[in-house]
Structure 1
Amino acid sequence: MRGLIPCEAPLEVLLLDIHAELSLWDDEYRLLCEDMFPVAELAYRLTQWLQSPDAGAGDFELESMSADPGLIRIAGSDEGWRVGSVLEPDVWTTPVAWSLLVEEIRKFVQSVRAGVGALGIDPAFIPEP
């Protein structure tokens, strides 16, 4: 982490320097696979979105400090919520209910928090979803 001790690293360093493989699946079809994705930043931004007044009403687009805008997108439709990426602009997951989307986001955030903890870093910088 840029030669910093994790407890001394600023938030942006923690968010940008913790990477893992990120795969986005819809049943048996893999929509996206990124080897070095800033998963801590995605978990942090998704938690902010879930806690915002727009949650459930407004769409989500990852505005990363290191990745292309829209690399992860979540959009509401008449059929439900879909997840996609600007890398495949016409490819989306099957629509799901808001409650299922929130459940899956919470699982992802908890997984990232556990992974951060396994690295010996206090995951408190990623809020509980």
Structure 2
Amino acid sequence: MTAAPIVLFVCVHNAGRSQMAAGLLDRLAAGRIDVRSAGSEPADRLNPAVVAAMDEIGIDIAAAQPKLLTTDAVRAADVVITMGCGDACPVFPGKRYEDWALDDPAGQPVEVVRGIRDRIETRVRDLIARLT
């Protein structure tokens, strides 16, 4: 049996976009992909509007904690998807990188976060189709 590919989502605070992407990929891939997320400057907690927007679609990420991006996490990943982390993301030759340009949900009301969530879901579904 082939090991599941490892996808690492990275944003600055690991409190919004990367957490939504990880929650969506985890749910939609149903165990076929190993999902991880981290941030270059992790926040103390998740963005409450992000938690609420995900809860609306039945994905509970309330217990998730922002994590610090490490070199080892990048090395272990098959695919690294960045979401606004700029130069803080280490780059290793031979790794597959994608940069998803998405608005930052920080400070946004849940009405705005829903749109960001939905754009992430579209990209996650495309990613699953390419990886499985």
Which protein has greater RCO, CA pairs closer than 8 Å, 6+ apart?
Answer: 2
Same fold? TM cut 0.5: no
Structure number with larger C-alpha Rg: 1
Superposition TM-score tier, normalisation by shorter sequence: 0.3 to 0.5
TM-score by length of 2: 0.36
- Which has the larger share of helix? 2
